[in-house]
Structure 1
Amino acid sequence: MSSKKFTRWVDKKDHKTCLRINQTYYSRREQGLNVCFLKHSLPKLFIKRLFYVFIGLFRFNRSPYKKYFKSPDFRHFIKRLLGLYKFEVSDLLPDKPQLKPLTFKPELNPTVSIIIAVHNHFNYTYNCLNALLIHTSNVKYEIILINDASSDNTSRLIKQIKNITYLENEENLGFLKSCNKAAAHAKGEYLCFLNNDTQVRSNWLYQMLAVFINDKQAGLVGSKLIYPYGLLQEAGSLVDNLGNPANYGKYEDPDLWQFNYLRETDYCSGASILLSKADFELLAGFDEQYAPAYYEDTDLCMAIRHQLNKKVFYQPLSQVVHFEGISSGKIVKKGSIKEYQQINAQKFKNKWAKVLNSFPITRSSVELANKFDHQKTILLIDVILPERDKASGYKRMFELMKIFKSLSFNVMFLPNNGLKTEPYFSELINMKVRVLYPALPHTPSTSLLYEVINLIDIAWISRPELNKIFAPIVKTRAEIIWAYDTVDLHFIREERGLKLQNSISEIEKELINSTMATEIQLSKDADITIAITEPEAEVLITKGAKKVKVIPNIHIPYTGLQKSFSERAGICFIGGFYHQPNIDAVLWLTNEIMPKIWCDHPEMKLTVMGSHPPPEILALQSASINVTGYVEDVTDYFTSSRVFVAPLRYGAGMKGKIGQSLEYSLPVITTDIGAEGMDLQHGHNVLIANTTDEFVKEITSLYYDEVLWNRFHLNSYAAIEKYAPLNVSKQLQEIFN
């Protein structure tokens, strides 16, 4: 076994062992059971853990565990060594905070009213408010804090908190009635009920609100709740057909992909939930038959689902650390508030008996969690998460997922590099795409396919190199439809690139032939082969591919403000520079074409946009050439430039940059290769040039002729109409029906 493989094996075993240690230790502690380090399988687990630590100290590619020796005392050192801090949440506020004044921004018209009911434990309340101040952004909110007759110093210390609405009960009303009372004072369109024994994490509220913005049927959204020691408390909650509730994923690793996709659920615990004020009022608030507390959140979610016919969602991107049981304890004792958990259970079952009888009889929590999945499941595989703003192939993949969601598919996506790159990861989660990623770095992505192989109906695998890796696994289940997405025919691109050289070596010819043989064989073996253009589909068919369909790039016209001919200046190019044809195009443009134009028109400026520009592209920066690198929003460039130029000398497939320019109605000059596969007509919706002199002539003509420019400007939208999402959606329906 190589050193790297051995390191990964140790990491995997250590992670699994620490998870078992934490689950055993903390689950017993949360239930109020005695935790003896010499019982309950802990001794064997501790020995395993120490063995892996010992190996870690001496392997060449891993530093010693320095942080262990920074523990504040010997007890912490031992617990850390034994793996009990393996999953600890970083950056938690201290248990005994310095009570400095907190000042919130006053909001006259808040979007969200955050309601916090408090009974004693001011240190937790203070940390809750401080975390809100630190981590709540991009949302206008107000805070309504209701003090439920606390007997500690809450009434005095709360005066240090500025710009919140403070209510105080003369007698203890309990959590439920306090929340109903506070809700009557809310000014926000949405109500967020938040426990005072919580610490919210970055963007928690923005991500909850995003669900309502993206889904008009959303009725209530709950956060991912995490214990302070790092294990999962809840990834949404479930109710079985007998009316028994359960926290999904309790004591599991919160970073597993299984607990990190946006999905419908039965209910979410009231420690952190968001719903519209109108719906809360329509349901007359929390049902007061459950006073003072317990089951009011479960009941509210059932009413949202079965009375208002709306959806309850678990939002994994909204993370909240919950110090569960601080106010009411963790154990049911005679005469305690916690006793209402048992009393109200029967009330809940009685109230919802008819609905519960319609629930499926299930054997496991996983089945309960997936009971909302009634559609076909498609798994899409590509190199990375689709960086839709950096490469046209990834933009196409992103739009395809949106279309599959609109067709009611369950959509899974597996990035071969295993990375949760932002902002693309969060974007997909909010689209309700299940992103598969490994629990530990460097885990083979094929292991993720094995995890879901029995769940999928269609496997859509991009690019020949990925099909070689994943298709053999997919083929182990004959029921799965294997769709091989060529993206473009690589052997055509490679052959065209080499033809630009003066000579092609025998080795290079063999490489092209090898690429071609691989692509042709894959197209023969796959259940469906997806080409991106009609010409490439014809190539595959003539070489024996059995079922080839064309799914092109997807283009959506820009509908914002447009500038007139006279208001524009300069020409532009866009393209990701990991793609070699783009480098070649820009060097041809700047070394041969533009110098001839600048002889007579030195005022004409060139803008070169695109991610990952190499040194030879960056070196072009000058008074006449602006090399921007990656641009997050290219709208200003496309609406301010007068002409788009793409002198592509080689490549294959459909060129996203051409379609993008047409989206913005920006007149295009390109080569035959740049325009291929899009049915573009020279002189009607595009200008074609294939030599330096032709480019000089067409650029000069189009740049200074307003009548000609307006013709191409007006014809642009019609050129990409066939690539609109609705038309591509119809094609996909035909294929998979």
Structure 2
Amino acid sequence: MANDDKDPRWATENLPDDPEQLKHIIRLILEDDSRNAQKCEEALNAMKSLLSSWRWRVGNAVMSFAERTLRRKSVRLATDHIIDLLNRIALNHRKRDAFGVSAFLLASAFLLAEGSDLQFFSGKDAKKNYTKKHRGLLEEFLQSDERLIFKEADSPDVSILLVLYNRAELTLACLRSILSMVRGGYEVVIVDNDSTDETERLLERVDGATIIRNDENKGFLLACNAGAKVAKGKYLLFLNNDAVLLDDSVSKAVQVIEQGDGIGAVGGKILLLDGSLQEAGSLVWNDGSCLGYGRCDLPDKPEYMFRRDVDYCSGAFLMVPLALFDELGGFDPVFAPAYYEETDFCLRLHENGYKVIYEPSISILHYEFGSSQGNDATSLQKRNRKAFVANHPEYLGRKLKPMEANILKARFASQDQKKILYIDDRVPHCHFGSGFPRSNFILNTLTELGYQVTLYPLNFPNEDDWNTVYGDIPDTVEVMLHQGRKKLGEHLKSRRNYYDLVFVSRPHNMEFFSQVAGKVFGHDGWPRIIYDAEAIFSLRDAAKYAVFSGKKDEELEKNIIAETSLVDKADLVITVSPGERNTFARYYSGEIHVVGHAMELNPTDTAFNDRQGLLFIGNMDYNGSPNVDSIVWFVHEVFPLLLDKLPGIHLKLVGTNESSEIQKLGDNPQIELLGRQESLEPFYSAARVFIAPTRYAGGVPYKIHEAASYGLPVVASELLCEQLGWKSGEELLVANVQDPVKFADQCARLYSDEALWQSVREAALRRVESECSVSKMKKMVETAFDSA
């Protein structure tokens, strides 16, 4: 189809607000796959402009309704799906207001829901409507020649156990979800408790499953124990027949068990028919009552998106090692016919030293009580609660009282671990450089030490989504995405008295935190605070001033005093080096600890003569940043001189490079812009010399430590050599950035002299080993946080 603005599919300024008419137009658009890329870009840019406009903000109430509808009334529609759809429709924001966009989004959701097998229902008739839909699907199935065929496996990884009592329409949906969602070797074990509806006809159309037919209703618990006895899998998955598997949840549960030591059971996110949470793991109070964490809330809020050790997970989806289930004697028959059996079993796991893990990437849609066997659920729960309390007096004695104020702490199985609020600019992925690899290490170490960490990315809260955020940080960290500066005060208020420690990195974050916390806590009630100076930024700014002005910064002392005064409320300060600690100690009388860079030695074996070219690795996104400034200076001032000495030499720049100044360098055939790479080892192994021509910076240069750890010798600026405390000519070669000729000479010298290259390599490796050992840095982190 031609990209014609007169085509009704492009007449977005005339888009109707009526959802039915919108659905028709959207269908036409979605049928066309020959979209013009420029139009897609225009659509996205228009949407971004609209989101920041005042008309969008005044329509916030309408959009809140739209969001709830998108998430709960029709179909789960993630933000990236919405953006993808908007990418495919030219949305003219100048002629559309927030109300029209709301109607557009709602219509999109309704349309996608119509074409989806997964449909959410809300309101008092949700179960009625859900049942009606699946009754129709059951009738179609029974009238067809279709069969449900499960592959038989002699040694399955997983035995999926279903207990049935009527509700054949729900069982069909469950079985179909198994066929479509489960990968790898598995078996299906079905125990039918003498169903009287179409269940028998349905089971006659099932091939490859192990089916046990009871001649009476023996109840859920006894049926589970009987099914477990015939199961052959390494892992046993209890799955309610009124549940539908979402995504690859079974394989993810297996991965969780096999990744961790001492994991006795795994559960996941259970969604109600309207798409809201039934539970994200469950907790037990000291009186034996229980609570599904997050019930009726939106399932993708940060509170529910991280892995936790919990009291128990619902038997609607619960995976356990089969041998362990047998070892503990299965479900305790005292709880027959049902209720509290999985809660009791999970507490027995805890009492035997195992963990019960809630994994957010696992999810099912649950009818809830659809598999009820006709017994009075309330009376059974009341009776079994007494038996449960009698079985676990010691465990319950450690639990909290059933109060709303205790829910946050009670969401973890253990309340003994210290809780830390960790505030930094962004999620500290290592590829950002600029101190974030060190921040990443501290964060990882804190989780290893057993702290329960909430990470609050203050200034860049929207860089990640839930598919990328845990790339190099532990998935046990609660990450408050999409909150940022605007919601810090609200976060502190809602979690008053929750955190044992607050860790704040970088001066601008400490300044903002102090302002917000002052309003929340007043003069009293402040949590204990650790301030991570990361670097004394005033020193970097002074160096930058000297580079561009040629003068000494007369305001340096004043700026250092202002920067160090930010720690008035801190109970402890962490710096990156002894030198920075000494500077800080001139202005701060409190406790100061040093936590530097942690680095494992990983020297590559490539010989000197098999290496070629120069290498730089670092973030190059921002014009004016130390990395961008240094590379632009090197390419313009040093590289031409070096080409005269070493014709044909090339420079590889590895790392994100959105800076416009860096992009211009790509026109040079001797320079390669390689962007971010998943593995850096091949680049360190192939290059002969690493360059670090930094003209201004604070802290200690991680990039030099990393290059040296791979056995790649470095030519650096005098500034970086001073920050490291290394010796020129021994652990690295050094040149003044005011002297491009000298810098080129040092690069050519190290590049050409194999004996010098080898001696510098070996000396730098020894220095990294002594200064940056991982065990040493972990001990420094532990000592600092124990002191707070």
Classify the TM-score, shorter chain.
Answer: 0.7 to 0.9
Identity of aligned residues (%): 26
Distance across 2 between alignment mates of 1:276 and 1:444:
42
Instruction: Could you tell me which runs of 5 or more consecutive residues in structure 1 were left unpaired when the two chains were aligned.
Output: 26-56
The offset of 1:470, in angstroms, is 0.8
Distance across 1 between alignment mates of 2:229 and 2:486:
51
Alignment match of 1:63 (pick from 101, 105, 111): 101
State whether residues 438 and 448 of structure 1, in contact with CA within 8 Å, keep that contact through their aligned partners in structure 2.
no
The answer as to 2:608 corresponding to 1:608 is: no
Residues 456-605 of structure 1 aligned to structure 2 (within 5 Å): 456-474=499-517, 476=521, 477=524, 479-502=526-549, 516=560, 518-523=562-567, 526-542=570-586, 544-547=587-590, 549-559=592-602, 562-579=605-622, 580-605=625-650
Distance across 2 between alignment mates of 1:255 and 1:181:
37
Match of 1:729 in 2: 778
Distance across 1 between alignment mates of 2:637 and 2:160:
62
State whether residues 490 and 515 of structure 1, in contact with CA within 8 Å, keep that contact through their aligned partners in structure 2.
no
Instruction: Call closer, same or farther: CA 1:405–1:354 in 2, change over 3 Å.
Output: closer
Which amino acid in the other structure matches residue 616 of structure 2?
F
Residues 102-121 of structure 1 aligned to structure 2 (within 5 Å): 111-121=157-167
Instruction: Call closer, same or farther: CA 1:577–1:113 in 2, change over 3 Å.
Output: farther
List per-residue Cα deviations over 1:12-44 (Å, max 9, x = no partner): 798599989x99x9xxxxxxxxxxxxxxxxxxx
Match of 2:733 in 1: 687
SS in 1 for 2:724: coil
Alignment match of 1:720 (pick from 768, 771, 784): 768
List per-residue Cα deviations over 1:686-707 (Å, max 9, x = no partner): 2222343333333333334443
Match of 1:30 in 2: none
The offset of 1:123, in angstroms, is 4.6
Residues 44-83 of structure 1 aligned to structure 2 (within 5 Å): 63-68=101-106
List per-residue Cα deviations over 1:93-133 (Å, max 9, x = no partner): 97455867778888787654443444554554454455456
Distance across 2 between alignment mates of 1:178 and 1:510:
81
Instruction: Call closer, same or farther: CA 1:496–1:227 in 2, change over 3 Å.
Output: same
SS in 1 for 2:534: coil
Alignment match of 1:446 (pick from 489, 497, 510): 489
State whether residues 379 and 414 of structure 1, in contact with CA within 8 Å, keep that contact through their aligned partners in structure 2.
yes
Distance across 2 between alignment mates of 1:390 and 1:130:
44
State whether residues 505 and 532 of structure 2, in contact with CA within 8 Å, keep that contact through their aligned partners in structure 1.
yes
Distance across 1 between alignment mates of 2:199 and 2:772:
62
Which amino acid in the other structure matches residue 780 of structure 2?
Q
List per-residue Cα deviations over 1:115-174 (Å, max 9, x = no partner): 34445545544544554566567xx45242425265556666678878x64434364654
State whether residues 311 and 413 of structure 2, in contact with CA within 8 Å, keep that contact through their aligned partners in structure 1.
no
Q: Count residues with an aligned counterpart.
A: 681
The offset of 1:442, in angstroms, is 8.4
Distance across 2 between alignment mates of 1:645 and 1:320:
52
The offset of 1:71, in angstroms, is 8.9
Instruction: Call closer, same or farther: CA 1:591–1:103 in 2, change over 3 Å.
Output: farther
The answer as to 2:427 corresponding to 1:382 is: no
State whether residues 187 and 233 of structure 2, in contact with CA within 8 Å, keep that contact through their aligned partners in structure 1.
no
Distance across 2 between alignment mates of 1:160 and 1:698:
78
Task: Please provide the CA RMSD for this pair.
Answer: 4.3
The answer as to 2:369 corresponding to 1:325 is: yes
SS in 2 for 1:626: strand
SS in 1 for 2:295: coil
Alignment match of 2:709 (pick from 636, 645, 663): 663
Alignment match of 2:745 (pick from 697, 703, 727): 697
The answer as to 2:639 corresponding to 1:619 is: no
Instruction: Call closer, same or farther: CA 1:483–1:174 in 2, change over 3 Å.
Output: same
Match of 1:251 in 2: 296
The answer as to 2:413 corresponding to 1:398 is: no
Instruction: Call closer, same or farther: CA 1:150–1:637 in 2, change over 3 Å.
Output: farther
Larger CA deviation: 204-213 vs 256-265: 204-213
Distance across 1 between alignment mates of 2:500 and 2:765:
36
Distance across 2 between alignment mates of 1:607 and 1:247:
53
Match of 1:48 in 2: none
The offset of 1:215, in angstroms, is 4.0
The offset of 1:304, in angstroms, is 0.6
Residues 342-381 of structure 1 aligned to structure 2 (within 5 Å): 342=382, 344-352=384-392, 355-356=395-396, 359=399, 361-364=401-404, 366=407, 368-369=410-411, 372-381=414-423
Larger CA deviation: 456-465 vs 238-247: 238-247
State whether residues 257 and 436 of structure 1, in contact with CA within 8 Å, keep that contact through their aligned partners in structure 2.
yes
SS in 2 for 1:554: coil
List per-residue Cα deviations over 1:372-417 (Å, max 9, x = no partner): 2223332210111112223242221121122222333332211114
Match of 2:330 in 1: 285
The offset of 1:473, in angstroms, is 4.0
Instruction: Could you tell me which runs of 5 or more consecutive residues in structure 2 were left unpaired when the two chains were aligned.
Output: 1-50, 74-94
Instruction: Call closer, same or farther: CA 1:94–1:630 in 2, change over 3 Å.
Output: farther
The offset of 1:270, in angstroms, is 0.7
Match of 2:78 in 1: none
Instruction: Call closer, same or farther: CA 1:58–1:562 in 2, change over 3 Å.
Output: same
Which amino acid in the other structure matches residue 264 of structure 1?
D
SS in 2 for 1:713: helix
